[in-house]
């Protein structure tokens, strides 16, 4: 349930991204979030501190606001969201094991055994520095999307279905947070978010692979679906 499948890291040029968008791979209605505006979260009573002015702040804010969003969603449907038990930053091969399997360097993952999320901090920081802070607002909501799946009926036939729904959930969370006003937007955010999904896609469409996550086009499409149409579209 990590963020990457066959590929660990492919940083593509913005021109490739724009070409993909021109081919209708997926488009976001309006501009997606980069970081919260100063004071926005406090002024709207969101239970998260910080404005996401740097990498550590964006990581904390992305986790807190995404879980806040899902707590509200579960409450609205008569349920109760169970927050993750841990949010673990690790380095390379020093990550926590999950069900007897070691953590993978240059990745992030949700572990159902213990209900926690872990991420390689050096890897995520490199994405943040090279591709913009949109990396944080894609990777962390995606993994928390798996935490949501663990609390709902899990009837996926293929792993790729699980991963694409997590992308959709990530888009739904970000779109929802913007609509209620706890995340602000900046010029270029759309390119950042979709570029990260482009870089994370599988090189081919292999549905039967146990670690398939979806092609760049599929990942962008599902993220955009959630962002534009909300959780019910996922």
Q: Give the chain's mean pLDDT.
A: 79
Query: Is the CB of residue 199 less than 8 Å from the CB of residue 140?
Result: no
pLDDT at 64 over 70: yes
Residue with the two structure tokens 């019910």:
232
Q: Quick one: pLDDT at residue 22? A: 29
| Mean pLDDT value across residues 32-47 | 42
Do the domain assignments include residue 89? yes
Do the domain assignments include residue 6? no
The H helix count followed by the E strand count for the chain is 8, 3
SS3 content of the chain, % helix, strand, coil (to 5): 50, 10, 45
Q: Quick one: pLDDT at residue 153? A: 74
Do the domain assignments include residue 205? yes
Do the domain assignments include residue 4? no
pLDDT digits (tens, 9 = 90+) for 68-102: 999 999 999 999 999 999 999 999 989 999 999 99
Q: Which of 20-34, 80-94, 143-157 has the lowest mean pLDDT?
A: 20-34
Do the domain assignments include residue 5? no
Do the domain assignments include residue 7? no
| Mean pLDDT value across residues 133-158 | 91
pLDDT at 196 over 90: no
| Mean pLDDT value across residues 10-26 | 33
Q: Quick one: pLDDT at residue 40? A: 41
Q: Which of 101-115, 176-190, 197-211 has the lowest mean pLDDT?
A: 197-211
Do the domain assignments include residue 8? no
Task: Specify the number of domains making up the chain.
Answer: 1
Query: Of all residues in the chain, what percent carry a pLDDT higher than 70?
Result: 74
Query: Is the CB of residue 195 less than 8 Å from the CB of residue 15?
Result: no
- pTM equals 0.81
CA-CA distance, 141 to 46, in Å (whole number)?
Answer: 17
Do the domain assignments include residue 216? yes
The range of the structural domain enclosing residue 110 comes to 14-233
Query: Is the CB of residue 22 less than 8 Å from the CB of residue 210?
Result: no
Place 201 in a pLDDT band, splitting at 50, 70 and 90: low
């Amino acid at each position: 349930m990590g963020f990457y499948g066959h590929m660990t890291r492919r940083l593509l040029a913005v021109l490739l991204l724009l070409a993909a968008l021109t081919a209708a791979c997926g488009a976001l209605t309006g501009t997606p979030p980069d970081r919260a505006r100063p004071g926005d979260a406090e002024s709207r009573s969101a239970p998260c501190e910080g404005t996401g002015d740097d990498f550590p702040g964006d990581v904390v804010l992305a986790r807190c606001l995404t879980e806040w969003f899902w707590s509200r969603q579960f409450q609205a449907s008569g349920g109760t969201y169970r927050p993750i038990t841990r949010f673990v930053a690790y380095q390379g091969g020093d990550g926590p094991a999950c069900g007897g399997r070691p953590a993978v360097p240059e990745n992030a993952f949700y572990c159902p055994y213990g209900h926690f999320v872990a991420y390689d901090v050096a890897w995520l920081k490199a994405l943040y520095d090279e591709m913009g802070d949109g990396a944080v607002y894609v990777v962390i909501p995606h993994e928390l999307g798996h935490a949501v799946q663990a609390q709902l009926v899990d009837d996926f036939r293929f792993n790729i279905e699980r991963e694409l729904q997590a992308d959709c959930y990530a888009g739904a969370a970000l779109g929802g947070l913007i609509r209620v006003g706890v995340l602000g937007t900046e010029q270029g955010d759309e390119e950042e978010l979709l570029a990260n999904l482009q870089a994370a896609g599988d090189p081919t469409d292999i549905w039967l692979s146990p670690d398939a996550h979806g092609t760049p086009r599929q990942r962008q499409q599902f993220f955009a679906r959630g962002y534009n149409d909300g959780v019910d579209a996922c």
